[in-house]
Structures are given as structure tokens and as C-alpha cells.
Amino acid sequence: MRNQHKVIAGIGTLAAAASIVAAAPAASASGTQNYCPTDRVCLWFNSGYSGARADFRVSDANLSNELFNDGPVGASGWLVQVEDNAASFHNRSGNTVIFFNFRNCDVDGAYRVVADGAKDNFGDALKNKVSSFIISNEGVCTNVDQSNA
Ligand SMILES: [Ca+2]
Ligand SMILES: [Ca+2]
């Protein structure tokens, strides 16, 4: 029953995301610059905030449907799947973020609590292992497609 609710919530979120894309077909990834924009959680393919980047606006239960498609085009890791491939992060969401090894913000695996504004390399517990994250004011951890965030 719990899983059913998660699936239903996910479908609703996907439908909302689809309508946003339809209304704004010009929407694109947030840029080729090599820094994290405001109001985003950013992940980099390499340590030290280098290589290709992926930007996120809201909590996400599954990073397998996003690619590293921000930052310099063609940078190391360009268009690689984000899940289990992020080495460093910058939290510019405006809120606390928790990164998880497992999908669905599952605390049974390794996780790391990160204050707003924090940037760092992931340690051994999470380097190339992050599969989901939650932003503290975005109460629900559901999978959305943030390819163009
Ligand atoms: Ca996702
Ligand atoms: Ca993982």
C-alpha cells in the first residue's frame, strides 16, 4: 500500500512536469558556466566541482533518469547518468539537503546531511554512489525528471 502511494504520487509529479515542459518548450539545462546556479542542488561528475554538472530544483527519489548535461559541453562525464556517478556537490537550494546511497531517500543505506551553501567532495561512503536526495522544504521524495533543471 505504501508503495502504491509512492507510485501514484510519482505519476502526479510526472504529469505536472510534462505539462510544464509542454508550456515552455524552450526550457533547457541551466547553462554552460562552471558554477552552481542559485536555487539548485548541483552534482559534478568529478571531484573538486569539475567535469560535467547536473542541476536539480526539487527533491528526487531516483537519479537514473538525469544525465550530467550542465557545465561545459563535452566536459568529463558529459551525458553520463547521474545515479552512482557524482563525485562532488554544491547545495544552493536555500535549504538543508540529505544525499542517499539508496533510491527513494532510504535511510537504510549511507546518507549525508548538507547545510545550505555547503560544497564538498563526497567521501568514500557516497562517492559515485548517490542515488537520491531530499531538500528539507520539499517534503516528498519522489522521482521526477530534472534533465532540464
Ligand atoms: Ca530523477
Ligand atoms: Ca547508490
* Domain assignment present for 76: yes
Which ligand places an atom closest to the C-alpha of 111? 2
**Amino acid 137: pLDDT:** 81
Question: Which residues constitute the domain of residue 109?
Answer: 2-135
Amino acid at 49: Y
* Domain assignment present for 145: no
Alpha-carbon span 96 to 12, nearest angstrom: 25
Which ligand places an atom closest to the C-alpha of 130? 2
**Per-residue pLDDT reduced to its tens digit, 7-59:** 444 444 444 444 444 333 333 466 778 899 999 999 999 999 999 999 999 99
**Per-residue pLDDT reduced to its tens digit, 53-84:** 999 999 999 999 999 999 999 999 999 999 99
Which ligand places an atom closest to the C-alpha of 58? 1
* Domain assignment present for 48: yes
Residue 121, C-alpha cell as written in the block: 567532495
* Ligand 2 centroid to residue 103 C-alpha, Å: 7
Alpha-carbon span 93 to 57, nearest angstrom: 7
Residue 32, C-alpha cell as written in the block: 554552460
* CATH code for the domain of 37: 2.60.20.10
* Domain assignment present for 147: no
* Ligand 2 centroid to residue 127 C-alpha, Å: 9
Which ligand places an atom closest to the C-alpha of 56? 1
Say how many domains are in the chain.
1
- Sign of the CA dihedral with 81 first, then 78, 76, and 55 last: negative
